[in-house]
């Protein structure tokens, strides 16, 4: 790797505002806002909309769509397609 051309890779806190969940990891992301972490050190904080604490797939609240029922409902509403 060439020296001096890569961004700094340092500890950063990512905070999910909707779930009140935060985790410390390493990243090249930067922020002007800081937060004091559990270890007493101050780290830059990045606010995110969705994380594993609030995403429906990870929380188990995801809905599975019944695609067969949707096709049947469409055919009832608009009729089956005529054979060519």
Give the pLDDT confidence of 8-54 residue by residue, as tens digits: 899 999 988 877 889 899 999 989 999 999 999 999 999 887 776 77
User: What are 54-84's pLDDT values in tens digits?
Assistant: 766 656 665 666 666 777 888 888 887 665 5
Structure tokens at 72: 């049947």
| pLDDT at res. 19 | 78
Containing 34, the helix (H) or strand (E) segment is strand 34-36
| pLDDT at res. 9 | 92
CB 53 within 8 A of CB 16: yes
Rounded Cα–Cα distance for residues 27 and 12 (Å)? 6
């Amino acid at each position: 790797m060439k020296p001096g051309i890569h961004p700094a890779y340092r500890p950063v806190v990512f905070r999910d505002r909707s779930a009140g969940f935060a985790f410390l990891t390493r990243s090249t992301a930067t922020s002007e806002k800081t937060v004091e972490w559990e270890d007493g050190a101050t780290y830059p904080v990045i606010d995110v909309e969705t994380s594993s604490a609030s995403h429906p797939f990870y929380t188990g609240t995801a809905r599975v769509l019944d695609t067969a029922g949707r096709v049947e409902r469409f055919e009832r509403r608009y009729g089956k397609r005529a054979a060519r």
